[in-house]
Structure 1
Amino acid sequence: MKLIKRPNVSTIRNLDLDLIRTFVTVAESGSVTVAANLLHMTQGAASQQIKRLEDRLDCLLFVRKARKLELSRHGEQLLVKARQMLRLNDEIWADMTAESLRGSLRVGVPYDLVTPLASAMKAFAEAHPHVEISLECAASLELCEAVDNGRVDMSLVECLASEAEGEVIRIEPLVWVTGRGSDAWEKRPLPLSMVDERCAFRPVVLGALADGNIPWRTVFESGNIEATAATVRAGLAVTTWLVSTVPPDLEAMVPRAAGLPALPPFAICLRLPSTVQPAALEFARYIRESLSHDTAIAPSRLSVLA
């Protein structure tokens, strides 16, 4: 019989997942204060947890530059595997509690991501029929607040890729969109239709137009993506959407060919509270599987304005 070798207990070292979660949150937000708010703890407690982790690992994980925390070389090395640890931890919880998932799940989602999220919702609902999903649609800024104050259990949000917070599901281009055969993009002031005045795209779009000295006027802001699409289809305005959300009967324009400024990429991020219910962990897994594939601009989706 083969003897089973017992581990040497004196050499076993265990990492505290609470410390790891705090480290990842600080690393992703670049601020102990922001991380403390996301984790619902005081700034002092968050700082103390980072110090405890550094003491355990006997290295500095952060350096302060220009009033912002940046990862040290050791911190960058740890972050990759720390994220893997948290994801595996969350998946284990989801797997072990999957059969008993019940109750309600409140999910926040920007207006333009409701349709892309549909397949994940359908698959989750079929696998977990005893969980009642409800959606709250709003601008990303409002949804971040909703996660922080507990109004929703989890949320997708959109933000500049360079300022992404939380878990980045994917990054894709923000593009100008026009109706087929429309000349709205040629008009000045540029007729602009946005879904919501608090839309994450709005300040970026207006800033780009200002930098390009392009005058604009608002045609429509309703909080309803279908109504926005209707104004674009009718040739009354142009709008901006993530490339994957552009309806097939509308066109994503090449900025230079249309005389419009290029727009920066945006990240679709998953925001979870510090204490996550099992149903939210499980639904997060469905979201990752559904939305995390790479997205690129296909030539057939671009306008022939060039």
Structure 2
Amino acid sequence: MRNLDVTTLRSFVAVADNGGVTRAAGFLHLTQSAVSMQLKRLEDMLGVELLDRTGRRIALTAAGEQLLAYARRMVALNDEIMSRLSEQSQEGELTLGVPYDVVYPAIPRVLQQFNAAFPKVRVHLISSFTLTLKEQFARGEVDMTLTTESGTGEGAEALCTKPLVWIGAQGGVAWRQRPLKLAFGRHCVFRPHAVAALDRAGFDWELTVESDSDRSIEAAVAADLAVQIALQGTQPSHLEVIEHGGALPDLPEQKINLMTGKSGDPARDVMADLLRAAFSISEAPRLKAV
């Protein structure tokens, strides 16, 4: 009976999740050649090709797609055993701030991966507006926070850049109405960009919904009473990007930044690495099966 090596499985999962060997090597803190060798060793052991390297971009083969689900479970189980039974298992608390706009889809998976690695570290997730989170970080009320901003200020690290897009109800028509009805949070950092773009284009608009409740805003937009803007790829599943064909003004790009404060704490460093990987993936599609 042959035994699979968890290290090679971890490299395989990293390649699949990060969209390629280069990004996976950075995430694992290994050289590209080391990751490539581990993948080759795994393929030799199983007697199948896991990656299709014939095109411009590598992709998962059917066998690779099948292995991926097993590999995730084995790596997670390995990490859980090591964390729960090791005497060096770290305990404590970590407070993470995340803007409402970028909680989904990345943060649930980040929390799941972190819990597998540090089951005894309690994570407090605070979801709020960027301005509020930056103030809390400055006061030491959160250990690290993500922000969505036009630039990257001092003490922040840019993770990725995404365009802002108009979003509305599925199959909705509110975006065709004039004046254009908008729904925004009172402290939403995207709001000035939408207003500026509409004013430059000479659009009539009115603020129909203004609330501190993200749910209230989503409900109004889902009911096709108004439209709002969001970072591409972060809109709720019950809303959709408006394919307006130029009928609405273009919007600028925004950066997703990370503020971590002091480093050197293992749990904090792992959380930071998971966030970097999760949001850098948005710039490079995950590997698809062929």
Aligning the two structures, in what range does the TM-score lie when normalised by the shorter sequence? 0.5 to 0.7
Q: Which residue of 1 aligns with 2:21?
A: none
After alignment, is 236-245 or 182-191 more displaced?
182-191
Matches of 2:198 and 2:115, distance apart in 1:
42
Matches of 2:262 and 2:96, distance apart in 1:
16
Instruction: Using structure 1 for the length normalisation, give the TM-score.
Output: 0.60
- Aligned residue for 2:140, secondary structure, equals coil
Q: Which residue of 1 aligns with 2:216?
A: 227
Instruction: Using structure 2 for the length normalisation, give the TM-score.
Output: 0.63
Q: Which residue of 2 aligns with 1:218?
A: 207
Q: Which residue of 1 aligns with 2:160?
A: 170
Q: Deviations over 1:117-167 (max 9, x none)?
A: 11001110122111111111111111112111101000010011xx22311
Q: Highest CA radius of gyration, 1 or 2?
A: 1
Matches of 2:238 and 2:198, distance apart in 1:
25
Matches of 1:295 and 1:246, distance apart in 2:
16
After superposition, residues 3-152 of structure 1 pair within 5 angstroms as 99-115=88-104, 116-152=106-142
Cα distance change, pair 145–284 in 1 and its aligned pair in 2 (3 A): same
After alignment, is 281-290 or 213-222 more displaced?
213-222
- How far the C-alpha of 1:274 sits from its partner, in A, is 4.1
Q: Deviations over 1:37-65 (max 9, x none)?
A: xxxxxxxxxxxxxxxxxxxxxxxxxxxxx
Q: Which residue of 1 aligns with 2:235?
A: 246
Matches of 2:231 and 2:145, distance apart in 1:
18
Cα distance change, pair 295–232 in 1 and its aligned pair in 2 (3 A): farther
- Aligned residue for 1:108, secondary structure, equals strand
Larger relative contact order (Cα-Cα within 8 Å, sequence gap ≥ 6): 2
Cα distance change, pair 238–296 in 1 and its aligned pair in 2 (3 A): farther
Matches of 1:265 and 1:99, distance apart in 2:
43
- How far the C-alpha of 1:250 sits from its partner, in A, is 2.5
- Say what the alpha-carbon RMSD is for the aligned residues: 2.6
Q: Which residue of 1 aligns with 2:279?
A: 291
- Aligned residue for 1:218, secondary structure, equals strand
- How far the C-alpha of 1:225 sits from its partner, in A, is 3.0
Instruction: Find the partner of 2:195 among 206, 215, 221.
Output: 206
Cα distance change, pair 182–147 in 1 and its aligned pair in 2 (3 A): same
Unmatched 5+ stretches in structure 1: 1-83, 89-97, 298-306
Cα distance change, pair 192–125 in 1 and its aligned pair in 2 (3 A): same
Equivalent pair of 2:263/2:269 in contact (CA under 8 Å): no
Give aligned pairs, total. 200
Matches of 1:236 and 1:260, distance apart in 2:
17
- How far the C-alpha of 1:186 sits from its partner, in A, is 1.5
Instruction: Find the partner of 2:261 among 269, 273, 288.
Output: 273
Q: Which residue of 1 aligns with 2:249?
A: 261
- Sequence identity of aligned pairs in percent? 34
Q: Deviations over 1:100-126 (max 9, x none)?
A: 422111111101222221100111012
- How far the C-alpha of 1:182 sits from its partner, in A, is 1.7
Unmatched 5+ stretches in structure 2: 1-25, 31-86, 286-290
Matches of 1:275 and 1:123, distance apart in 2:
19
